[in-house]
Structure 1
């Protein structure tokens, strides 16, 4: 019939969106503003999502690149990605009020690196150069103590001081499959390499990638909702393509949907990176529903019940 909407199935990945570390970090900023009043300064984006940052700015958060941009009489929050040791040290020297919103799973990586270094190991960090989490982890130890490895090719070119005394840690938001390839290359070349006690890639990254893998092959298109600066969101696009989706793309919100990419589609997948609020997912579904006759099916691979405690200063 004329004007009849095309039928479209939406597979909604679960888990998706906010993880416990992101939720904790946002609460820290909100509570700091409530306790100390505006402005509260935040060193770097608290999490990598422009909508979250914009909402917190309206509440009274001021985002800066470096600590020296923060007035000494105002509190400052360090982002969920972690910071080099020199940053809280500088805050203490200036007698500033600061709250560290580093995700506890990132802190775990920091502790592992420090423990291995103390035991005399050379540390290999698997991650992406320039990412705030990587900058923070590199800054836990003296210069030269950690070598960044980004690819399997980097493993081949790595020249350790002692091949028998190497340990590796990883960025928490990497592709599980890509990281496994790099770890395998490390273990092949250095059989005695020391691994983390428990997987460094965080539970939320792994769960969101597993959910995308479960639905990708059934999808003509997968929309990953998240910001361009979000590492875990970009990895979800790669995972979807590798797992068999005909097409996959990162979108900030409903306004960024490329409708031409959905022509002739019968099934699309929707997920959201760990720093993307559920309201953005609802907005994308609503926008698609205005154009299509949609049915929504949630595809859940696991349930998450992780909660991280807030720092005492804002609890």
Structure 2
């Protein structure tokens, strides 16, 4: 029997297509999953309502949520139990934000503008959480605005270590090159943030899914191209872009060594 996946398991079409070639079926709602079937919940996290609906339909669930997203969920529940008002800094409509917002009653802040903050008393007990794939710089501005309105707010910066490391690496690389290519999906939050970070340093920057999307005009007058990729981008795509450009003229830049590992979902151990 097929395995169903609710939403894209990660925001990368190549990963999704590879799973579908192996027989997985991607669905948008659990109503599309036959009663009693196996369903995988995406890495972005799911609200409690999804688990309740799955139980009602006798579905077997494998929760592929990123452990760093689960940490945000647990923090939200903790602060809510303590009676704090919870603010989430994130992008409205993103799958991770939907999952986190469903955990407890909270308010979304998707802009650093002071006027968009809730009209609570300055001395209210407030806790601030963040989406894991945000821009480090933009998030700092949002948190500054929140702290000005609510000076005693408890702030948790939950941006993923991989997101942070990549943004710092792109910042260093951008000043060395004439063009930056970010390999990843257009609906990937962390990929879009990487492109924005590079562009903020004045270098032309493009988000591409693969070498076939590189336009020749981008390379006019360009002698050095910087290449990076999103957290969910397969290494084979990075290699294909390098091969299409100049495979014999690659310089690898040193960065933070990442050796973090997580256990498999409970259902697969």
CA–CA separation in structure 2 for the residues paired with 1:264 and 1:85: 53
> Is the contact made by 1:241 and 1:247 (CA closer than 8 Å) also made in structure 2?
yes
CA RMSD of aligned residues (A): 1.4
Please say if 1:227 is aligned against 2:182.
no
Mean Cα displacement is larger for which, 146-155 or 58-67?
A: 146-155
Deviations along 1:119-177, one digit per CA (max 9) or x if unpaired, are 11111100000000000001111xxx211101111555421267421111000000000
Instruction: Give the deviation of 1:191 after TM superposition.
Output: 0.7
Question: Could you tell me which residue of structure 2 aligns to residue 16 of structure 1?
Answer: none
Task: Label 1:294 to 1:246 Cα distance change in 2 as closer, same or farther (>3 A).
Answer: farther
CA–CA separation in structure 2 for the residues paired with 1:173 and 1:154: 22
CA–CA separation in structure 1 for the residues paired with 2:27 and 2:131: 23
Please say if 1:298 is aligned against 2:240.
no
Alignment match of 2:166 (pick from 191, 208, 211):
208
CA–CA separation in structure 2 for the residues paired with 1:245 and 1:39: 48
Please say if 1:193 is aligned against 2:153.
yes
Task: Label 1:155 to 1:147 Cα distance change in 2 as closer, same or farther (>3 A).
Answer: farther
Larger relative CO (CA 8 A, sep 6+): 1 or 2? 1
TM-score with structure 2 length normalisation? 0.96
Alignment match of 1:308 (pick from 255, 259, 262):
262
Structure 1 unaligned spans of 5+: 1-37
CA–CA separation in structure 1 for the residues paired with 2:248 and 2:115: 47
Alignment match of 1:179 (pick from 109, 114, 139):
139
Matched length: 269
DSSP-derived class of the 1:124 partner: strand
CA–CA separation in structure 2 for the residues paired with 1:156 and 1:169: 16
CA–CA separation in structure 2 for the residues paired with 1:227 and 1:52: 10
Question: Could you tell me which residue of structure 2 aligns to residue 100 of structure 1?
Answer: 63
CA–CA separation in structure 1 for the residues paired with 2:62 and 2:78: 24
> Is the contact made by 2:211 and 2:244 (CA closer than 8 Å) also made in structure 1?
yes
Instruction: Give the deviation of 1:235 after TM superposition.
Output: 0.3
Please say if 1:274 is aligned against 2:231.
yes
Deviations along 1:240-282, one digit per CA (max 9) or x if unpaired, are 112x252101001011001211111111100010111010011
DSSP-derived class of the 2:198 partner: helix
Alignment match of 2:44 (pick from 81, 85, 90):
81
Structure 2 unaligned spans of 5+: none
TM-score with structure 1 length normalisation? 0.83
